[in-house]
Amino acid sequence: MARLLLRNIHTLVTMVDGEEPLHGVDLLAVDGKVGEIGRDLRPAPGDDLRVLDGSWRVVYPGFVNTHHHLYQTLTRNIPRVHSVKLFDWLVNLYEVWRELTPEAVEISTKVGIGELLLSGCTTTSDHLYLVPTGMERELHDVEIDTALAMGVRFHPSRGSMSRGRSCGGLPPDDVVQTPDEIMRDSERLIAKYHDPAPFAMCRIVLAPCSPFSVTTDLLEETARLARSKGVFLHTHLAETLDEETFCHEAHGLRPLAYMEKAGWVGPDVWFAHGVWFNDDEIRWLAETGTGVAHCPGSNLRLGSGIARVPRLLRAGVRVGLGVDGSASNDSSNFVREMQVALLVHRVGTGVEAMPPRDVLAMATVGGASLLGRPEIGRLRPGGAADMAVFRLDRIDYAGAMRDPASAILFCGAGPRADATIVAGQVLVENGRLVGHDEEAIFHKANETAEAMLRRAEEKLGVSYG
Ligand SMILES: [Zn+2]
């Protein structure tokens, strides 16, 4: 039996409905689950008991990231795409991403998961949709094995692209696959990794990339396979007006209507972005229980627009937060994403549009709901012992203690977690990753990124800056 006691927690944000933050309590985790929350808990001493100091710390349910592309951590801050919109950004970066190798996937996963853990994220999805020719049977396995070894709760996607340039799509032909190849590999990954049990560490998601990079057949077949296996569906949707134009020209439909025709609505579906949903579509999302991953940093970075999240929430649509690919955001810091979500809707919608409680809800219970995980996102006995712990006794929060639960949202800049705990395991301690050398990860990632960029530059005869 492994036990973890957080003693004398300054502020415990449980996210249990109707419950205010608790002060001066202890939390005891037993075998990866929350056992007890209360004052002056006195568990029997023993070698299996670990104690962490909760004084001057705020503890949240571990944050849930609902949209990411870990491999993109290798292509951040590239001058050539500093200031271009999504389609140009993609067309330029496909040329670098086609150089992706298993080693590149491994190191980029370490970077992205490391950043997420360091910002209090304990569960993340990922969307790896680009499979260069020759890499078919390796990339997803390497990504999943690496992430699970780091201890995060993981919802990796078997992403896919099947509409290359020769068929009117955006990506080059050598990074797309046939629907047959994609379906076979999806089944293989589900059989190998998917765990439907509560408290699972790994659940597979099926995720064709976007309406402009896959064929309608693939969307339909993917939905059929997902439902026959009980796995969730995810893709990008309504991210830009260019996408809307593409769907009109290619299919005569708006993006959501096109997806609905292919069977892509329901409580087992969540879309990344949803910037351009209209009122009727928002009602339809609510009625069908279809979810949205809000990625404000990416939407601002690429100038895509501001998703109407206050409206989505009022309509009853389930919404989570996503850092999106680190190349569009150019960060995987989850708290920074929460800070952006807090601020961006106050311009345009109004200053009351996004209270801190709504941001915390999207980051925890909202994300948990999108992924179909009622056991995470709240701290209560019997739930998962997944926690994000932040120090409050820092200069960033001096004078901000009237509402300690909101301090990390309003003050400071994307702070590091003091501790991040997944299933009772301490993966970040004193603001550092446990068992991983950040400098070594930095240098390996830099070398790998540089090699990919150089190969792309040599082939194309252009500079990425
Ligand atoms: Zn994305």
The DSSP element (H or E) to which 422 belongs, if any, is: strand 419-422
How many angstroms does the Cα of residue 213 sit away from the middle of ligand 1? 13
Give the phi and the psi of residue 22 in degrees, each rounded to 5: -100, 150
What is d(CA 456, CA 462) in angstroms, rounded to the nearest whole number? 8
**CA 273 to centroid of ligand 1, rounded, Å:** 8
Q: What is the mean pLDDT of the chain?
A: 96
What confidence tier does 122 reach under pLDDT thresholds 50, 70, 90?
A: very high
CB 312 within 8 A of CB 292: yes
Mean local confidence (pLDDT), 71-95: 94
% of the chain exceeding 90 in pLDDT: 94
Cα–ligand 1 centroid distance for 184 (angstroms): 24
User: Cα dist. 120→90, 144, 431, 444 in Å?
Assistant: 29, 20, 10, 24
Rounded to the nearest angstrom, the distance between the alpha carbon of 67 and the centre of ligand 1 is: 6
Distance 321 CA to ligand 1 centre (A): 12
For ligand 1, the distance from its centroid to the CA atom of residue 322, given in whole angstroms, is: 9
Q: How far is the CA of 402 from the centre of ligand 1 (A)?
A: 37
Q: Could you tell me the distance, in angstroms and rounded to a whole number, from the CA of residue 400 to the centre of ligand 1?
A: 34
> How does residue 169 score in pLDDT terms, banded at 50, 70 and 90?
confident
Q: What single string gives the DSSP state of each residue in 112-123? A: HHHHHHHTTEEE
**For residues 59 and 9, what is the distance between their CA atoms, to the nearest angstrom?**
7
Distance 33 CA to ligand 1 centre (A): 31
Calculate how far, in angstroms, residue 296's C-alpha sits from the geometric centre of ligand 1.
11
Cα 453 to Cα 95: distance, rounded to the nearest angstrom: 9
Kind plus residue range of the DSSP H or E element containing 4? strand 3-9
> 337 is written with which tokens?
């994403």
Cα(304) to ligand 1 centroid in Å equals 12
Question: For residue 49, with 0-12 CB atoms within 10 Å meaning exposed, 13-18 middle and 19 or more buried, which class applies?
Answer: middle
pLDDT tens, 34-77?
Answer: 999 999 999 999 999 999 999 999 999 999 999 999 999 999 99
Query: Phi and psi dihedrals of 355, rounded to 5?
Result: -70, 155
Question: Mean pLDDT lowest for which of 86-90, 206-210, 259-263, 422-426?
Answer: 86-90
Mean pLDDT (whole number) for 12-30: 97
Distance 293 CA to ligand 1 centre (A): 10
What was the pLDDT predicted at 326? 85
Centre of ligand 1 to C-alpha 432, Å, is 27
CA of 40 to the centre of ligand 1 (A): 45
Q: Quick one: average pLDDT of 142-161? A: 97
pTM of the full structure: 0.97
- Reported as type and span, the H/E element at residue 298 is helix 296-301
What is the chain's Cα-based Rg? 21
Cα(265) to ligand 1 centroid in Å equals 19
- CA 176–ligand 1 middle distance (angstroms): 17
Encoding tokens for residue 4? Answer: 């973890």
Question: 100 C-alpha to center of ligand 1: Å?
Answer: 17
State the pLDDT at residue 134.
Answer: 85
Cα of 23 vs centre of ligand 1, distance in Å, is 38
* Paired tokens of 65: 């990231």
Distance CA 454, CA 462 (A): 10
Distance 69 CA to ligand 1 centre (A): 6
What's the angle, vertex CA 114, arms to CA 110 and CA 115, rounded to 5? 125
CA 338–ligand 1 middle distance (angstroms): 17
The CA 49 to ligand 1 mean position distance, Å, reads 41
Residue 1 pLDDT exceeds 80: no
> What is the distance in A from the centroid of ligand 1 to the CA of 334?
15
Helix (H) or strand (E) holding 217: helix 216-229
Instruction: Tell me the CA–centroid distance for residue 390 and ligand 1, in Å.
Output: 28
CA of 210 to the centre of ligand 1 (A): 9
Report the separation in Å between the CA atom of 324 and the middle of ligand 1, taken as the mean of its atom positions.
5
Cα(315)–Cα(193) distance, rounded to whole angstroms? 35
pLDDT band at 239 (very low <50, low <70, confident <90, very high): very high
Place of tokens 């089944």: 187
Ligand 1 centroid – CA 326 distance (Å): 9
pLDDT digits (tens, 9 = 90+) for 391-410: 999 999 999 999 999 999 99
Distance 26 CA to ligand 1 centre (A): 38
Centroid of ligand 1 to alpha carbon of 45 (angstroms): 47
The Cα-based distances of 435 to 416, 426, 428 in angstroms read 17, 10, 9
